[in-house]
Amino acid sequence: MKEKTIKLLFATLAVATIWTSCKKDKDLVTVPQPVINESEVITTLKLTFVDSSNTSNIKYATFRDPDGDGGLGYDIFDTIKLEPNKTWLTTIILLNETVSPADTISNEVLEEGVDHLFCFSPTGTSATVTKTDLDANALPIGLQSKWRTTSTGLGTMQVELRHQPGVKDGSCTPGNTDIDVVFQTKIQ
Amino acid sequence: MKKILILVTSTVLTVAILFTACNKTKMYANRLDGGEWHITELSVDGVTEAELPHWQIGECDAYKESCTGDWENHEGGKGKFAWQFREKGNKFEISNQSELTGEHKQDEAILQCQNFSGVYEVKEHKKKSMTFETSSAVGFSGKKVVMKIEKE
């Protein structure tokens, strides 16, 4: 009887000790939600194409979403129209038109070239793109490029700006997307 | 008397084992806090990040306050993050707490910290090295992120 009482006492003590000492997750201070910083607001992507064989032959294509990504949709979304069998010297201008005067985001992209990369993905079009500008690490940026067109046809060209702080390696894989536009592309 | 001694010893041992097991959260947190840790592996879907930052972790009691640390890159940029072990030390959370400053080196550290914020599985936990994995980091949703840290 005495031994049973002692056993019971120790068992009770053990349970009590664990119960009181073992803190639960609900006792932890809640971790604050992460602060999510928006990437640069880009409302407008303007492409300017200069015919390398005739610099007065200039084409333009613009995408504009006045309030940036989300919210209302675009109000300008041009089709890229280029002539075949030419080389086009292409420049990209990015704007934030939610502020007045508009902020030229492409200047910041150039300043932070080591963190940015444009990626061009043609589908069903003969246009091929070669980036011609380089950042401080001799990796391409893509604000300046050459577009070579050959045969006529209708397809698309995806223009994507990747933000790659500290991880840029020349490929499109690392980082996040700042802007991604798929233009209808007509070579005629 | 001998029986009682055995009983006491086994009870103490049982309590100690259970106590240690149920306090892994605190034990892991105690190992992490108050030191400098280097991220020696940081990969997304097997692709290693170019910038491997280091952490400065202050002393902290996760039951009394939100624990924080500094996420520092090699350029001297710094972001602040909250961290916590839970679920008996099986989970580890990182949560960016800094807003962008407009200064390049700072923002690089902050954006990296933001992208790697999330709840990680604790895969390895030693006194001077820990490995975490997740597929739900803020900047890499659906991709396997592996992070290994080692103490100075």
User: pTM here?
Assistant: 0.57
**Please, which residues 102-131 of chain B have a Cβ atom closer than 8 Å to chain A?**
104, 107-108, 110-112, 114-115, 117
Asked if A174 is an interface residue toward chain B (Cβ–Cβ < 8 A), one would say yes
pLDDT of residue B25: 84
Cα torsion for B44, B137, B22, B37, to the nearest 10°? Answer: 60
Q: Which residues contact B57 (CB under 8 A, 6 or more apart)?
A: B32, B33, B34, B35, B36, B37, B67, B69, B83
Cβ distance of A29 and B66 shorter than 8 Å: yes
Q: How far apart are CA B83 and CA B119, in angstroms?
A: 10
Asked if B96 is an interface residue toward chain A (Cβ–Cβ < 8 A), one would say yes
Asked if A166 is an interface residue toward chain B (Cβ–Cβ < 8 A), one would say yes
The ipTM (two decimal places) reads 0.82
B148 within 8 A of B54, measured Cβ to Cβ? no
Is residue A114 in some structural domain?
yes
Partners of residue B65 in chain A, C-beta under 8 Å: 29
Q: Please, which pLDDT band fits residue A21 given cuts at 50, 70 and 90?
A: low
Residue A184 has pLDDT above 80, yes or no: yes
Domain count for chain A, please give it: 1
Is residue A19 in some structural domain?
no
pLDDT tens digits for B43-54?
A: 989 988 878 999
Residue range B79-106: mean pLDDT, rounded:
90
B113 within 8 A of B71, measured Cβ to Cβ? yes
Is residue A166 in some structural domain?
yes
Q: How far apart are CA A60 and CA A91, in angstroms?
A: 10
Is residue A74 in some structural domain?
yes
Q: Structural domain of residue A134, as residue ranges?
A: 44-187
Q: Please, which pLDDT band fits residue A25 given cuts at 50, 70 and 90?
A: confident
Asked if B6 is an interface residue toward chain A (Cβ–Cβ < 8 A), one would say no
Q: Please, which pLDDT band fits residue B71 given cuts at 50, 70 and 90?
A: very high
CA angle B90, B121, B38 (to 5 degrees): 100
Is residue A31 in some structural domain?
no
pLDDT tens digits for B110-149?
A: 988 999 999 999 999 999 999 999 999 998 889 999 999 9
Walk me through the domains of chain B, giving residue ranges and CATH numbers: 2-151 (2.40.128.280)
pLDDT of residue A74: 93
Closest-approach residue (CA) in chain A for B104: A112
Nearest-CA distance A99 → chain B (Å): 17
A66 preceded by a cis bond (ω within 30 of 0): no
Is residue A174 in some structural domain?
yes
Is residue A136 in some structural domain?
yes
Highest mean pLDDT among A45-54, A156-165, B19-28, B74-83 belongs to A45-54
Q: How far apart are CA B110 and CA B127, in angstroms?
A: 27
Q: How far apart are CA A92 and CA A145, in angstroms?
A: 9
Residue range B51-71: mean pLDDT, rounded:
92
In this structure, of A40-44, A54-58, A89-93, A116-120, the range with the lowest mean pLDDT score is A40-44
Asked if A20 is an interface residue toward chain B (Cβ–Cβ < 8 A), one would say no
**DSSP codes, B86-131:** ETTTTEEEEEE-----S-HHHHHHHHHHHHT-EEEEEEEE-SSEEE
For B91, the token pair is 């989970």
Nearest-CA distance B15 → chain A (Å): 6
Q: How far apart are CA A25 and CA A69, in angstroms?
A: 38
Query: What is the widest separation between alpha-carbon atoms in chain B?
Result: 73
B69 within 8 A of B81, measured Cβ to Cβ? yes
Cβ distance of B3 and A18 shorter than 8 Å: no
Q: Which residues contact A103 (CB under 8 A, 6 or more apart)?
A: A95, A96
What secondary structure letter does DSSP report for A26?
G
pLDDT of residue B19: 54
Q: Which of A177, A128, A124, A178 is nearest to A148 (CA)?
A: A128
pLDDT tens digits for A122-178?
A: 999 999 999 999 999 999 999 999 999 999 999 999 999 998 877 899 999 988 788
Residue A28 has pLDDT above 80, yes or no: yes
Is residue A172 in some structural domain?
yes
pLDDT tens digits for B6-35?
A: 766 766 666 565 555 567 888 888 889 888
| Cα A32 to Cα A42, B46, B72, distances in angstroms | 29, 29, 20
CA angle B35, B149, A112 (to 5 degrees): 100
Residue A96 has pLDDT above 70, yes or no: yes
Nearest-CA distance B40 → chain A (Å): 15
Residues β-bridged to residue B68? B82
Q: How far apart are CA B50 and CA B21, in angstroms?
A: 37
pLDDT of residue B138: 92
Residue range A177-188: mean pLDDT, rounded:
94
